[in-house]
Amino acid sequence: MSNSVYFDFCAPDADIGPALARFVRELNYNLKEGQANSMPLDRLPSASKTIQHVRVVDSHTGGEPTRVVISGGPELGNGTLAERVTRFRAEYDWFRSAVVNEPRGSDVIVGALLCEPLDRSSAAAVIFFNNVGYLGMCGHGTIGLVVSLKHLGRLGVGGHQLETPAGAVTTTLHPSGEVTVSNVHSYRKAAKVSVAVPGFGTVCGDVAWGGNWFFLIEDHGFDLSMKNVERLTSYAWAVRQALKNAGISGDRGQEIDHIELFAPSAVPGVNSKNFVLCPGKAYDRSPCGTGTSAKLACLYADGQFGEGQTWRQEGIVGTVFEGRIKLQNGQVYPSITGSAYVNGEADLLLDPRDPFCCGIRG
């Protein structure tokens, strides 16, 4: 029996129409020009006054929120997920902003747009996005997605394949409610990379892929605690900018947009504690699934971790993920186990008369 979940994005309320599309383009221009309040209502086309409904389910994974778009999203066609992300970015970036940015969202929320999968044996396809752009993969978001679909009665206990822009991932919903995500191939690109960071001196770290690009720093001298979040954020942001300015990148010139700091955990039985700064300058409340995957790849490369072992990773707020690896043809495939909880269902209302219909954009 197929585990496929089908979603109808061709419903009338998902079609914003040409008039509203023109308005959105105009509004986006005004927002970029810093004129967010300069859109007079009398310029709205009469056909664009229909309020669009977007149905979402909210959850958090280890404290980090995920907002799954169940219906009302844009029609992105039937191409590959990479092609659909390109169309999303080019034609419907206003929708991304409307769903996760203020006043409906916040810098912390990760959105997850459900799409029809290419492989009918997949439970769903998903595009993850945040306050500034799009993510290849999101570990905490995948756990939140599975729990949200379980909440809606669309998934049951057992294994389910999900398609992401970074590749297909296998998930397991356990009877306990925990979710294991078998992530994409993860690896370390470069070890002990040094970069000069203004105000902080030379910083050394590893460049690794875990579904997103990370710069992992163990020798940083900071106390990883909530009381230190502002200092940690400033430091990690400075590192990210320094990497960009120095031309240090992931494969094919992709930007390293996640910075991860590590320290020993004070919790018995937990291997490490981390602080992860995400692309939009918000810190990850969870231990970060893709970041933990990148860490496991580095540990394996250093001969410090292998199959059959369990790595317990604490995040900045104290929640814990469990990580393991499998080797296939000498390549590392991490799996991450964590818990998520549904904490809301809502209809977002996109009213074209609202000057912040498409969110407040920086």
As averages over each run of 10 residues, the pLDDT of the chain (362 residues) reads 34 41 47 40 44 97 98 95 96 97 96 96 97 95 98 97 95 98 97 98 98 97 97 98 98 97 97 97 97 98 98 98 97 98 98 94 78
Residue 153, in any domain of the structure = yes
Residue 207, in any domain of the structure = yes
- Same domain for 92 and 138, yes or no, is yes
- Same domain for 152 and 239, yes or no, is no
Return the bridge partners of 115, or none: 125
Sign of CA dihedral 68, 71, 74, 80: positive
- Same domain for 159 and 221, yes or no, is no
Residue 110 CB partners (closer than 8 Å, separation 6+) = 64, 65, 66, 67, 100, 128, 129, 130, 135, 138, 140, 141, 144
pLDDT value at position 33? Answer: 43
pLDDT value at position 48? Answer: 52
CA distance 23 to 355: 11
Q: What is the DSSP letter of 10?
A: T
Residue 1, in any domain of the structure = no
Beta strands in the chain (DSSP E): 52-61, 64-71, 110-115, 124-129, 134-135, 158-164, 167-173, 179-182, 187-197, 201-209, 213-217, 258-263, 272-277, 311-314, 320-328, 331-338, 340-350
Residue 311, in any domain of the structure = yes
- Same domain for 153 and 61, yes or no, is yes
pLDDT value at position 32? Answer: 46
- Same domain for 243 and 198, yes or no, is yes
- Same domain for 209 and 112, yes or no, is no
- Same domain for 58 and 167, yes or no, is yes
- Same domain for 237 and 213, yes or no, is yes
pLDDT value at position 281? Answer: 95
- What are the catalytic residues? 138, 288
CA atoms within 13 Å, Cβ hemisphere of 331 = 11
Residue 361, in any domain of the structure = no
- Same domain for 49 and 111, yes or no, is yes
Pairing of strands 331-338, 179-182: antiparallel
- Same domain for 140 and 69, yes or no, is yes
Q: What is the CATH number of the domain that holds 118?
A: 3.10.310.10
Contact (CB, 8 A) for 277 and 258: yes
Residue 80, in any domain of the structure = yes
Domain interval for residue 96:
12-178+343-350
pTM of structure: 0.85
Task: State pLDDT tens for residues 293-351.
Answer: 999 999 999 999 999 999 999 999 999 999 999 999 999 999 999 999 999 999 999 99
- Same domain for 72 and 159, yes or no, is yes
* Both structure tokens of 148: 């949200």
Residue 164, in any domain of the structure = yes
CA distance 232 to 239: 11
How many structural domains does the chain have?
2
Residue 3, in any domain of the structure = no
Task: State pLDDT tens for residues 84-99.
Answer: 999 999 999 999 999 9
pLDDT value at position 361? Answer: 84
- Same domain for 143 and 216, yes or no, is no
pLDDT value at position 7? Answer: 31
